């Protein structure tokens, strides 16, 4: 298990990644304590991972936050003092997660959001800003398993759905999140995303550009 120190150096310590910036590999699952458990170690996820190691705890949007890794991240961020929007299509689980976090004294609310729909993503970001005045970080965690099939037998519908959620959804979220960050004049925050089942972390500053 490998992570990064605050100064960018890789670190491995008894199978535990302690850095605020991490890369998570295959097989990650959420534990009841709000940590990510993996074979050989535990990944400790804090609000620093979402809003920057040197940033004050702020307002965070987590997609796919109703269950699993997203839920664990939400628990930890709330425990750190962050205000969290749980954005997910799983309404029942999302409402329960938000209610549980609020009952424990945390700041959390749920919105049903389909990350493939620009209007819904924009509305979610706008609601965070409306409630808390700003958006400081985001965990674009929502993702689906597109299934496994012979290349010839894979349907176009299944392929499109996977790309829409796992790729387009991340882009849409970053687009609107970065816009909100730019509006408050911060240039140093980062947005990170993890797709369950992939070794993948991407970061984008509010001034980032993309090429397709």
pTM here is 0.70
Continuous H helices in the chain: 48-51, 68-79, 91-103, 118-132, 156-163, 169-183
Which of these, 146, 145, 202, 200, lies nearest to 171 by C-alpha position? 202
* Predicted confidence pLDDT, tens digits, the chain (212 residues): 334 444 443 344 444 433 333 333 333 444 444 443 433 444 444 445 454 443 446 899 999 999 999 999 999 999 999 999 999 999 999 999 999 999 999 999 999 999 999 999 999 999 999 999 999 989 999 999 888 888 999 999 999 999 999 999 999 999 999 999 888 765 444 444 333 323 333 444 555 566 55
What is the chain's Cα-based Rg?
17
Burial of 128 (0-12, 13-18, 19+ CB in 10 A): buried
């Amino acid at each position: 298990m490998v992570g990064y120190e605050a100064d960018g150096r890789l670190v491995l310590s008894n199978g535990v990644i302690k850095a605020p910036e991490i890369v998570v590999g295959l097989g990650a699952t959420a534990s009841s304590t709000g940590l990510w458990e993996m074979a050989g170690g535990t990944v400790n996820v804090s609000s620093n991972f979402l809003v920057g190691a040197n940033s004050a705890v702020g307002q965070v949007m987590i997609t796919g936050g109703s269950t699993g890794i997203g839920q664990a991240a939400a628990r930890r961020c709330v425990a750190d003092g962050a205000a969290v929007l749980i954005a997910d299509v799983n309404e029942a689980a999302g409402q329960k997660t938000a209610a549980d976090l609020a009952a424990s004294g945390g700041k959390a609310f749920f919105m049903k959001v389909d990350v493939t729909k620009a209007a819904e993503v924009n509305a979610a970001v706008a609601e965070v800003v409306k409630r808390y005045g700003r958006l400081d970080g985001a965990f674009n965690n929502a993702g689906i398993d597109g299934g496994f099939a012979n290349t010839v037998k894979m349907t176009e519908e299944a392929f499109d759905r996977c790309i829409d959620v796992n790729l387009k959804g991340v882009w849409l979220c970053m687009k609107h999140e970065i816009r909100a960050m730019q509006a408050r004049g911060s240039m140093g925050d980062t947005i990170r995303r993890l797709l369950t089942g992939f070794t993948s972390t991407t970061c984008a500053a509010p001034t980032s550009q993309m090429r397709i």
